Amino acid sequence: MNEDIERGSEKGSGPTLATHRPAGDSSDIPELVAALWNSSEPQLLIDPQDGRIVDANDAAVRFYGWTYGVLCSFTIDRINTLPPAEIRARLAEATQRPRTRFVFPHRFADGRVRSVEVITGPVRVGERILLWSTLHDLSDIVHRSPEFETLAHRYQTLVENLPAVVYLEEADPPHRKIYVSPAAERLLGWAAHELQVDRATWYERFVAPEDRAWALAERERNDRTGEALRLVYRFRTGDGRTVWLRDEAVLIRDRLGHPWARHGLLTDVTSQKRLEARLQRELAFHNVLLGIASRLVTASSDEFENVVAATLADLGSFLAIDHLVLLECEGTDIVLLSRWQAPGIELSVRCLGRQAIPSLPSLQSLLERGQPVVVPRLEALDAGADDVRTFCTHLGLRSLLAVPLLAAGRLIGCLLAAQQRDERLWGEEELDLFTLVSQLYAASIQQRRAERAEAQHHAWLRATVLAAPDALLVLDANGIVRFASPAARTVLGLAPDQLVGRPLADLTTTPERVASWALDGLRPERANRIEVQFAHQPTRTVELSGVDLRSDRHIAGIVLSARDVTERKRAEQLLRERATRDQLTGLLSRFGFLEVLEALLHTTTAETIGILCCDLERFSALNDALSWEAGDAILRAVAERIRRVTGALAAARLEADRFAVALTAPDRTTLVRLAEELLHELSGWYEVGRDEVYARMRGGLACVEDGIDATTALRRAEIAFQVGKRAGQERLSVFDPVLYQASIERQFLERDLRRALEQGELQIHYQPVIAVSSGRLTSLEALVRWHHPDRGPISPAVFVPLAETTGLISQLTQWVLLQACRQLWAWSRAGLAPELSISVNLSPTDFLHLDVPQLVDDILQVTGLEPRRLTLELTESAMLDPAVSRERLERLRALGIAVLIDDFGAGYSSLGYLKQLPVSGLKIDRTLVADIDHDPASTAVVRSILELAGALELSVTAEGIESARQLAVLRELGCHYAQGFFVGRPAPPNAIHHLLRRGSTDHPYLDE
């Protein structure tokens, strides 16, 4: 190909190049141009009109790997992998400047796509303008680093996953974005190629109009200075949103130092901008709040109303509110504290003055719940708020906000904000500000009330000081009186002016003691007392009570109260005499005896000390036979004889006719003999007026051992006395540690039984009862069991009598009845043995003293159990009062409750009550059944009982069946029911449940 080529210049002339193929023939080529064309750098001539490759040098053929003919048959878009439209734009752009630099992805003959630097500019070839392009393989440069692929992959991954869009923008006009990272679609809603536009298009298409001019001007200024770019403007995303975008970029230069491109980041900072705006708003709120708080805190009582008015003005102006009103609740009234209205706003009705305004009960009711009342428009008010609607309508108000002022959960006022000109939707931030301001007002109102209350308290305190019967004194740090109330004249006998300026201690009879107490012995947290006498009136006793408040900067002294306690001391002495002395006999009382005995026990002595506790036999009968006066005379005579006893350390009348004497002797034997002699001496004839009465003493002696206190020693003597009395001893009973331990154990067992009842430690076991003829299970007897957590199982023979003597038997009986009925009802509800009955033992004590029929009826009502399925068992001793027994048995029969006589034949048996009382059956005691299988006499007795029962139409149950032979004999004799270990042992509810679930109640024969 022979063509004239000349390099474009500003003057339109330049060297020409005639080229033809084969390559390398350059005889007509100017030396410089030929040198360029034949250099080792790849060169292309491209027609910018259609992108056709017009010519290529040998280096370009080697560079791309195609033959010359193939390469020159291509258009540039066969090599450049950019979109065709983008290629055409770049071709047109390159023709406008002498020299342009691009980086394009080019495809090579081996299929690879590599980054190629293209430096191009226009040249004139004849009448045509072509682009002369010099090519450089950038991939060869960057691939010189062995870690390039790894670094490139890491960089690509980093760029694609950044929470920002990475872009590359040309340094030269029109400043086209030649690369935009794929994150653009995720973050901005635009595909990357949609954002690869020139700068003018970028600002016109994507930047918000209000930011467009200044941002573009800032970019142009930045182009001139070359500084790093940082702009924040509003950007329109692909989905139509407007976000705040931070645009940061730095200038990149090529190897020659010329500006090549800007590398930048686009970051969505919408959240940050919103936060900044919120922070600015909150800062403004904070400044308003801080100003209000500082003014309220520093305001005095006299300035309070003016400060409140000023702070309302600040708040109303800041929030552009029409009206602000601060109200205070005083009792049932709502009082106006202050109000503010915006300039130019006037109330249509002038009813808000400095007088109390009508109460708004519905508003107050809502505010007392502690929540703001928000009324954006009057139509939003409930029907129950007609008073508020009327109030607002009367004043011409269209919107209302009421925030409560609370103190300790109690409503003390209200801050009202109202709009007259328009309706208002109160924002959350405004509500928060109102709430905080209301808290400040509430605290100020409380402080104002506290100050008023404090002033009133000070007045009351002054009146109290003046009116108090006790003298009040204040001493300085040296103990000198600095203040004395008027009562000092009455209490201390000195006028206040005679006390002030003098050391208080020097006025007393014990100055050193008083000074030490006042200056060193007092504490600020609690009062301390001392009794003193003053030198000018030593017969009077004054009680000083004081606290050390020298560390209190308001008082800086010692505060004392002084009270004349002379008469009180005399009364206390008299009361002590009465407390420690028996008024009838003149002997010590129990309290006085213990005091003296405690002192004796702390005295070292080789003698043996003993405590004798004694009383007169049948003293109550003597009183009844004679008179109380005669009884008192006997007691005085006994006391007189005790006083004459040699070896008596102390004597007391403990109570009624009981006395105690502390004796001492060389040894225990002598001590016992002395006690017996004393009892003998006290027993005998006593003259009572003109009569003589014989009285006999009996008692208990306890020898005092080392390490015991007076109370224990006396209690042991009383225990010995009670043991001897129960044993029927006529005179002296000596304390036995074994008996004492048994008494202690009994107390502990009683305590544990009470706790077991309270905490549910007791259990109920059930023993089967069968019909003798069929062997079928007919009923269960409920038997209480106690497994002590420390002592293990405790026999009912131990704890049931204990319950009877301690009064716990009623509680125990009620518990057993309730649990047994509940258990049987539970089994029945589960469909197990619906005809089964339960029997419960009753104590004679309960039967005689409890309303058993009412108790049973209540329990049946609670549990839902049928009356016919409950049987009560009573021993014969419960029938000793036929009248009571008949009445209660009749009521039980009316309820449908069967009653059995338990342990029949074991003790006193009266055949009469069997006929008279409405009982349902008998339970033969086990002692009569034990020998029935080999003793004809036992068989005859049982036969007689069965015949008697048959005649009276009573059922008979035999207890204690332990063998098949016994059961066979009872079957022959015609006994109805049997119970015992052979039939079945008592078992817990789960075992009985298992038995009943087997579906057969024949021959249970339960074992534990």
Residues 974-993 pLDDT 10s? 999 999 999 999 999 999 99
67: alpha, beta or left? (left if phi > 0; alpha if psi -120 to 50)? beta
Of 3.40.50.300, 3.10.180.10, 3.30.70.270, 3.30.450.20, the CATH number of 148-275 is: 3.30.450.20
CA–CA separation, 472 vs 485, rounded Å? 5
The Cα-based distances of 552 to 313, 525, 538, 555, 557 in angstroms read 41, 12, 34, 5, 8
CA–CA separation, 547 vs 526, rounded Å? 6
**C-alpha closest to that of 656 among 585, 759, 726:** 585
Q: What is the structure's pLDDT at 863?
A: 92
Q: What is the structure's pLDDT at 149?
A: 56
CA–CA separation, 741 vs 6, rounded Å? 136
pLDDT tens figures, 832-887: 878 899 999 998 888 878 889 999 999 999 999 999 999 999 887 777 667 778 88
**Does 150 score more than 80 pLDDT?**
no
CA–CA separation, 167 vs 192, rounded Å? 9
Q: CATH top-level class for 474-571?
A: alpha beta
**C-alpha closest to that of 118 among 90, 149, 88:** 90
Residue 320 has a CB neighbour count (10 Å cut-off) of 9
Helix (H) / strand (E) element for 900: namely: strand 898-904
Q: What is the structure's pLDDT at 152?
A: 54
What is the domain partition of the chain in residue ranges? Answer: 43-137, 148-275, 300-342+358-454, 474-571, 581-735, 765-788+810-998
Q: What is the structure's pLDDT at 230?
A: 92
- The CATH superfamily holding the domain 300-342+358-454 is GAF domain (3.30.450.40)
Q: What is the structure's pLDDT at 946?
A: 92
Over range 921-950, report the average pLDDT: 90
Over range 147-162, report the average pLDDT: 63
What is the layout of strands, in order, in the sheet containing 697-703? 648-655, 658-665, 608-616, 697-703, 732-734
CA–CA separation, 980 vs 960, rounded Å? 4
Residue 409 has a CB neighbour count (10 Å cut-off) of 7
Do residues 597 and 712 touch, judged by C-beta distance below 8 A? Answer: no
Pairing outcome for strands 921-924 and 955-958: parallel
**Does 148 score more than 60 pLDDT?**
no
In three-state secondary structure terms, 230 is: strand
Q: How many residues does the chain have?
A: 1008
pLDDT tens figures, 390-410: 878 877 888 888 899 988 888
Sign of CA dihedral 846, 849, 853, 858: negative
Helix (H) / strand (E) element for 817: namely: helix 809-829
**Does 42 score more than 90 pLDDT?**
yes
Q: What is the structure's pLDDT at 880?
A: 66
**Does 639 score more than 80 pLDDT?**
yes
Sign of CA dihedral 926, 929, 931, 936: positive
Q: Any idea which of 8-12, 289-293, 664-668 has the lowest mean pLDDT?
A: 8-12
Question: In this prediction, what percent of the chain has a pLDDT beyond 90?
Answer: 36
Question: In this prediction, what percent of the chain has a pLDDT beyond 70?
Answer: 90
**C-alpha closest to that of 631 among 691, 688, 698:** 688
pLDDT confidence tier of residue 142, bands split at 50, 70 and 90: low
In the structure encoding, which two tokens stand for residue 302, read together?
Answer: 């006299």
CA–CA separation, 688 vs 625, rounded Å? 13
CA–CA separation, 138 vs 335, rounded Å? 86
Q: Any idea which of 14-18, 624-628, 649-653, 870-874 has the lowest mean pLDDT?
A: 14-18
**Does 247 score more than 90 pLDDT?**
yes
Of 1.10.3720.10, 3.30.450.20, 1.10.238.10, 3.40.50.720, the CATH number of 43-137 is: 3.30.450.20
CA–CA separation, 61 vs 69, rounded Å? 9
In the structure encoding, which two tokens stand for residue 792, read together?
Answer: 């293990």
Q: What is the structure's pLDDT at 8?
A: 37
pLDDT tens figures, 338-388: 889 888 887 644 444 343 345 577 777 778 888 888 888 888 887 777 888
In the structure encoding, which two tokens stand for residue 582, read together?
Answer: 């028996």
Do residues 401 and 374 touch, judged by C-beta distance below 8 A? Answer: yes
Please enumerate in sequence order all residues whose Cβ is within 8 A of that of 472, keeping only pairs 6 or more positions apart, or say none.
Answer: 465, 483, 484, 485, 487, 559, 560, 561, 562
Residue with tokens 């005179």: 731
Q: Any idea which of 358-372, 629-643, 918-932, 970-984 has the lowest mean pLDDT?
A: 358-372
Do residues 964 and 772 touch, judged by C-beta distance below 8 A? Answer: no
Most confident of 16-20, 24-28, 115-119: 115-119
pLDDT confidence tier of residue 28, bands split at 50, 70 and 90: very low
Do residues 859 and 817 touch, judged by C-beta distance below 8 A? Answer: yes
Q: Any idea which of 141-150, 281-290, 673-682, 901-910 has the lowest mean pLDDT?
A: 141-150
pLDDT tens figures, 531-562: 999 988 888 899 999 999 998 888 889 999 99
In the structure encoding, which two tokens stand for residue 903, read together?
Answer: 């342990």
Q: CATH top-level class for 581-735?
A: alpha beta
CA–CA separation, 45 vs 29, rounded Å? 16
**Does 25 score more than 70 pLDDT?**
no
Q: What is the structure's pLDDT at 1002?
A: 54
Helix (H) / strand (E) element for 187: namely: helix 183-188
Cis geometry, peptide bond prior to residue 30 (ω within 30 degrees of 0): no
**Does 21 score more than 70 pLDDT?**
no
Cis geometry, peptide bond prior to residue 173 (ω within 30 degrees of 0): no
Please enumerate in sequence order all residues whose Cβ is within 8 A of that of 952, keeping only pairs 6 or more positions apart, or say none.
Answer: 914, 915
CA–CA separation, 702 vs 260, rounded Å? 119
**C-alpha closest to that of 401 among 373, 424, 379:** 373
CA–CA separation, 156 vs 792, rounded Å? 81
In the structure encoding, which two tokens stand for residue 554, read together?
Answer: 């308001």
CA–CA separation, 479 vs 544, rounded Å? 14
Do residues 132 and 60 touch, judged by C-beta distance below 8 A? Answer: no
Q: Any idea which of 282-291, 655-664, 693-702, 960-969 has the lowest mean pLDDT?
A: 282-291
CA–CA separation, 32 vs 15, rounded Å? 9
The CATH T-level fold of domain 765-788+810-998 is: TIM Barrel (3.20.20)
CA–CA separation, 639 vs 651, rounded Å? 8
Listing DSSP states for 824-893 in one string gives HHHHHHTTS-TT-EEEEE--HHHHHHS-HHHHHHHHHHHH---GGGEEEEEEGGGGSSHHHHHHHHHHHH
Strand partners, 846: none
Most confident of 541-550, 575-584, 624-633: 541-550
Do residues 660 and 654 touch, judged by C-beta distance below 8 A? Answer: yes
How does DSSP classify residue 477? T
In the structure encoding, which two tokens stand for residue 303, read together?
Answer: 């300035």
Q: What is the structure's pLDDT at 153?
A: 59
State the chain's mean pLDDT as an integer.
84
Q: What is the structure's pLDDT at 157?
A: 67
**Does 255 score more than 70 pLDDT?**
no
pLDDT tens figures, 484-528: 999 888 888 899 999 999 999 999 999 999 999 999 989 888 889
CA–CA separation, 418 vs 416, rounded Å? 7
pLDDT tens figures, 190-234: 998 899 899 999 999 999 999 999 999 999 998 888 888 999 999
Do residues 724 and 698 touch, judged by C-beta distance below 8 A? Answer: yes
Please provide the distance, in angstroms rounded to a whole number, between the alpha carbons at the two ends of the chain.
124
Over range 7-17, report the average pLDDT: 34
* Shared fold status for 474-571 and 581-735: no
Over range 571-579, report the average pLDDT: 79
In three-state secondary structure terms, 769 is: strand
Do residues 580 and 588 touch, judged by C-beta distance below 8 A? Answer: yes
Over range 6-31, report the average pLDDT: 37
- Determine phi and psi for 888, rounding to 5 degrees: -75, -35
Q: What is the structure's pLDDT at 233?
A: 94
**Does 933 score more than 90 pLDDT?**
no
